[in-house]
Every structure is written in structure tokens, then in C-alpha cells.
Amino acid sequence: MHLWTNFRARLRCAALLTAVSLAGHAQSALTPAQALDYRRVSDLRLSPDGSKLLYVVTSYQWDWQPHLWLMDIASGTSRELTPTKKSERLPQWSPDGKMLAFLSNRDGRAQVYTARADGNEATAVTARKFGVTSFHWSPDGASIGYLAKDDSAPALDSGPQVADRESDLPRLWVTERASAMTRRVTTTGYRIDEFQWLNPAQILIVASDAPRMEAFNTAIYSVSVADDAIKLVSRPPQPFSSLLISPDGKQFAVRSTRTNGPDPRDLFVGTIGRDDLRVISAPPDRSVAEVKWRDQPAIWARVVDGFRNRLWRFSAKGAPVPIDLPLSVDSFDASRDGLLAYAGGDFDHLSEIYLRAKNGSIRQLSHLQEGWGDIHLAATSIFWAKSFDGMPIESALMRPPAPHPGEKLPLVLLVHGGPSSNFSAGYGWDTAWAQLLVAHGYAVLLVNPRGSNGYSEEFLKANRGDWGGGDYKDLIAVLEEVLKQGEVDPNRLGIGGWSYGGEMSEWAITQTGRFKAAVVGAGVFDQQAEFETEGGSAGDEWYFGTPWEHPDVYARNSPNTYIGNAHTPTLILGGEDDTSNPVGQSKGLYRALKHLGVETEMVLYPGEGHSPRNGSYNIDMFERILNWYDRFLKTTN
């Protein structure tokens, strides 16, 4: 564990290396448009023989709409399958590898399409009125199962909208490829969240038999394709997700929680027909984020470990084995014989696709990032510091490459979303925000406080009912340690974040006047009002209970309770169609700050949800963010 005794030395070393690397390499500062001009890779799918790779690419150039690509592994050549101005996702190979399937909106709503293994001759399999949400090939490749609303369901954009209608629930359908015959598998009274084929005659579903209840109450059921008979298979600890079936069809795996945590993070394996569900990922006690089960003995998993995502090989019988890779893993797939394809990156390396051979050798397959050859990204120092109660907190510090001698830097403390999320060593939206600021002369501090993902489950649960308590103290404790190093100007501090990060920024300006500028994106101002209007309340109920049972807890965890203390100039951003943290939360904060005479601006983006996708809107946000901090934190512009 790196502690503060050598932190200053590592900062000086990083600054020296950066200055050397930039010698003779002058460039203009990163612009908001450039910071957002990156491509993100996800959902990698190796063909059964390991010769081809399907993957999904998203970019703000395409308003974050997913595009499907196909790569030949031997040559590394790729081509995009998605037509212009369309989106495609959820790629899957047929069991024999001769066909591929995906969801596409080529003809309007998202439908299941199949194509040849080379991506040609794409044909729609479904034509559902409201589109398809997910699908899977049957194990023999003879059928495709999918989830979709019944065509007779009432529209959601016209007429009276009755809450919790049975007709709004997704239904399970099966289409036989040879005959094109489609039938609905009757599951009336159940809300189906996920499904997997157990064998050609049976499907396992993750479903709730009380769909009107807003609670973690799903279980695993077996459904007969022939006669719709439903049978309970297992009740994993809540919450759980990511159902998988073993290659031999005798076992299943899910991500769940060992000790009543807020998120599914542990890997459980059970046997069909037995009550033997057990966790196999207790070591390393880190969050399992993505799982692939391609060969019977091995389960491959992407594990969140602090700022890095690592790959592990789990077995129902043997000890877990870590896989040594040089970069943090965004997504991956494994072939039946252990070939690994993964998208990897770091703070200063944009994501690309790599192949790890069975002998451990690694080669880069893709060159997705365009126009970044002459753009320098700031190196990042990852370190640990002790918080107010001695708890070690992992953080990262970015700083400009070559500050003037003796100059003290303005610093922005960024807070991640979640709260059960984390900052990762990869280039994403949060990192783009940070790199933009660094390129314009700011130091940026990224902290994973208690409650963050990527550490022990006890650490994840440490802010239960205490948002703005220990987690806020962690942020301030790390900030204080950075200030002690003497390279940051304590009079030019800013704070900002999105979602939970926005809420903690709101919280901070009610607790201290040390921040001279704040940016609040899609935050929560009043916990009770949010609980009453958000799209789903089960997560907040885990943290706080219900507001009618625990009004004091909701008040204590709400920035609006203490808003009278706020004096910090605050920029408020949000999507008008946000259902996670509804837009009324942003409006409430804006009204309060105006009433108190605090300088504030609010910018809302029409048609956007919790995470705005429109590229021009995101560029606009980044321009406003940079200008806001420059206005209040720069002595000269």
C-alpha cells in the first residue's frame, strides 16, 4: 500500500517524465469536443471457433448509439455492420457459429436480426409493435427466444396511463427458425427481467411473481416451452442478476450478494434440481462485474479491483486464478479453449481491443481511436490515504504536465456516481471531464470513498443511511492530504460530479465554504421527494428504508436540509426526461440557491435521461463546465 510518505516524490517523478515526454511536442489545449471524441468498446463476442469477434462501439459522434462491428482475428481487419444513423446491440453467435444475431432498429423499433457469419444478408426475425428488449439462441440453434410486450398493449405515449398494468410487462416469445412460427410462452402474473435457455425444451427466467411491488423480489423459475409449466428453481440472495447456464446445462450462475449488500457483486453457482447455491468468489472479495462461461471447468469474470478491472478464472472446485494483464479491462470474452479477447485502457490510454493467446502473449487487434495521435493525456498517480477514522481510501491525482515553478494550481475534486460505483483507470465520460480540466491548468482529484465499488463488501456498505457522513469526510480527508503537499492553492478549489457525485457536490456546499465553484449534474436535493418520484425505489430503500418509516434518516441525508448554509457559485445540469433523479431535484436546488442569493445557473437538456447521450449536448455541457470553473477558480483567464 502506497502511503503519503512517498507521494510527493512520485508526483515530482510524474511531472519530470511528463515534461520530458512533451519536450518539442507543443500542442493546443484539449477542447470539449476533442475530450468527448473517443470510442467505447463493449459486449465482445468470440465466434465458437475463435476466428471472429463481434463487438459494440459507442461514441458521442453517434449520440452514444451502439454500432456493431465484426473482426477477423487472424488479420485484425474489422468492418462496421450498422447502417448510417441506425443502432445495433446485443450481438450473439449461433451455437454452430454459422450465423450471428443482434438487435437492430433498421426498420424502426429494435428487432432481432440474423445474418451470415460474415455479417451479410441481415434479415429481420421479429416485427414486434413495441420492439424487442433481449433475446437468446436456443442451445440447438433451432429457435430464438426473446422478450417483448404484446402487440395489443396500450401505447405509452397516448391515452390514459394506468400504473402497473399487466399489459406493460414484457412477454417471453419463441420463434422457430425453420418454420418462422412464433408462440408466446405464457407467464401471466410474472415480470420477467432475464432469461436463458436451459435446453431446447426449457427456459430459465429471472422473474417476480409480485410485479407491482417495488422491491428486490425476483427468483429463478423453469418454464416449459411446450406447455408453459412454471417451476421454482432457486431464490438467490437479493439483489441478483446476470443469469448464466453452464455449457453442459446442469448448473447455473448468478451475481448476487453474500451479506445483504446493495448490489449483486459475488459469483454464485448452483446445480439445477438441487439446493446447493454457493459463492465461489469470496476470495478476492471484489465485485464481479461481467461473467462468461464457455467451457465446463472454467468461469471467466471481470472483477472490479479499485481503479482497475481485472480478469479472474473461477472454478466450482479449485482456487480462483488472477490473469495478469497490462491494462484495465472494460469488456472481454473467452473462447472454449482459453483464448481471451478484451477491451483495455488506462487513464492515459484510450480503449482498444487486445488478444491474449493461451501462452499468455498479448497483441493489439484494433485501432479504433481516431485523431488522438498528437493529443497528450495527463499521467495519473494512484495512492492511498487514511481517512478521519483510519480507514484507507484509494484515490487518484491528475495534474498539468508542466506548471510554472512555484505556481500553485487550482484543483477540482470530482465525485463519482453511484454511490456503489467507482472511478476506474480508463477513458470514459468522467475521465474526459478530468482530462479536459487538466489540459486547461487544473489539478483534478478522484476519490473512491466508502460506499464505492471495487473494494470489500463491508466497504461497499459503509455509507448505508449515511450519505454525507463518512463518505463526505473521506473526500475531505484526502483533499486535506493533497493540500499538505503544497502544490495546490487552497483558495482555488472546486467540486463537481454527476448523479451521486452531483448530490455530494450539493452536500459539500452546505457543509463548507472552501469550494469556490461547484458543478452539480443530475443530483438529488431532497431524498424523500426523489423516493416518491424516481423510476425505481428499491435501491434507495436499501440505503434509507422508507421515508414514512424513517423521515429523520431522509432529512439527515438530504442537501436541502442544510441548504441555508450554501454560498458557493453552482452550475446545475440535467436531462429533462431523467427518471432516476427526476428533474425536479435540479429545479429544487436552483430555486433554493436563487432564493438565497447564491450565484447559480441551471441548464436542462430536452429529451435526455439520466445520462445525456446527444453529442452536441455533451459538448455544450463540457464547455459550460470549463467556463464555470475558469470564471471562479482562475485568477486570470
Q: Which of 148-152, 336-340, 629-633 has the lowest mean pLDDT?
A: 336-340
Buried b (16+ CB within 10 A) or exposed e, 501-538: bbbbbbbbbbbeeebbbbbbbbbbbbbbbbbeebeebe
Residue 492, all three cell numbers:
482555488
pLDDT in tens, 593-621: 999 999 999 999 999 999 999 999 999 99
Please state the domain extents for the chain. 4-18+378-633, 40-153+165-283
Fold of 4-18+378-633: Rossmann fold (3.40.50)
Indicate the average pLDDT of the chain. 93
pLDDT in tens, 191-213: 999 999 999 999 999 999 999 99
Are the C-beta atoms of 203 and 225 separated by less than 8 Å? yes
DSSP codes, 566-616: --S-EEEEEETT-TTTTTHHHHHHHHHHHHHT--EEEEEETT--SS---HH
Are the C-beta atoms of 389 and 373 separated by less than 8 Å? no
Scanning the structure block, which residue is given the C-alpha cell 421527494?
529
- Return the pLDDT at 9: 40
With a cut of 90, say whether residue 34 has pLDDT above it.
Answer: yes
- Return the pLDDT at 403: 67
With a cut of 90, say whether residue 29 has pLDDT above it.
Answer: no
Q: Do domains 4-18+378-633 and 40-153+165-283 have the same CATH topology?
A: no
User: Considering only CA atoms, which of 287, 285, 305 is closest in space to residue 242?
Assistant: 287
- Return the pLDDT at 407: 85
Residues in the chain: 637
- Region of residue 228 (left: phi > 0; alpha: psi -120 to 50; beta: else): left
**CA gap 227, 582 in Å, rounded:** 43
Query: Is the link from the previous residue into 419 a cis peptide, with omega within 30 of 0?
Result: yes
Fold of 40-153+165-283: Neuraminidase (2.120.10)
Are the C-beta atoms of 123 and 144 separated by less than 8 Å? no
What does each C-alpha distance from 632 to 108, 118, 400, 408, 626 come to in angstroms?
46, 55, 19, 16, 10
Residue ranges in 320-428 assigned as alpha helix (H) = none
pLDDT in tens, 215-243: 999 999 999 999 999 999 999 999 999 99
Q: Which of 4-18, 46-60, 180-194, 515-529 has the lowest mean pLDDT?
A: 4-18
Are the C-beta atoms of 525 and 588 separated by less than 8 Å? yes
DSSP codes, 292-318: EEEETTEEEEEEEETTEEEEEEE-SSS
Residue 616, all three cell numbers:
452536441
pLDDT in tens, 92-145: 999 999 999 999 999 999 999 999 999 999 999 999 999 999 999 999 999 999
CA 403 to chain centre: 34
**CA gap 501, 481 in Å, rounded:** 21
